[in-house]
Amino acid sequence: MKLLRAVLFFIATGLLYLGVSLLGWGLGDLEGYFSIAPRMGYAVVVGLFSHASLARWLGVVLSALGFALVFWSGVALGRQYSADVTIQKEHHLITSGVYQRIRHPRYLGVIALSVGVSCVFRSWIGLIASGFFIAALIYRISDEEAAMYKEFGNEWETYCKPSWCLIPYIF
């Protein structure tokens, strides 16, 4: 039952985000949004989209990947998730699944979602706001990593060696 509820939540929220993308695309161009799949696939592969369309499709992909990371990390954390940087009762270090290679996949997902929605709406203001948002998240990550080190010590250090903070092989 718990898995069914999670899957239904994933589908409903995905439809919501795709609906926001559709609204950003414009309801007057539904044919463009729902064009024939083979033609759309050919255009993506060959790169025939104009720059604006490419930005929108990049935004849709980033939004979908971001949402998937947020959802997957939430499932992995379970009851240990908290909006505040806190250590909870019976807290243990999650080092498997999506957390095996990325220490903060939820934040990476939120960043991808923020940048993706900005691209879907082709909003420079949204991209600039995403930059400030990313800076705030990096500050929060430093607080969270300090709290994790304080709580888990050597176990945290051992986990940090093979994993990346946000983006594998980059940061």
| Each residue's pLDDT tens digit, 43-94 | 444 443 445 577 778 888 898 899 888 888 888 877 776 666 666 677 778 8
Question: Can you tell me the distance from the alpha carbon of 26 to that of 121, in angstroms, rounded to the nearest whole number?
Answer: 9
CATH domain 2-160 topology: Four Helix Bundle (Hemerythrin (Met), subunit A) (1.20.120)
Question: Can you tell me the distance from the alpha carbon of 30 to that of 120, in angstroms, rounded to the nearest whole number?
Answer: 15
pLDDT at 112: 92
pTM: 0.66
* Every domain of the chain and the residues it spans: 2-160
Cα-Cα-Cα-Cα dihedral sign, residues 162, 163, 167, 168: positive
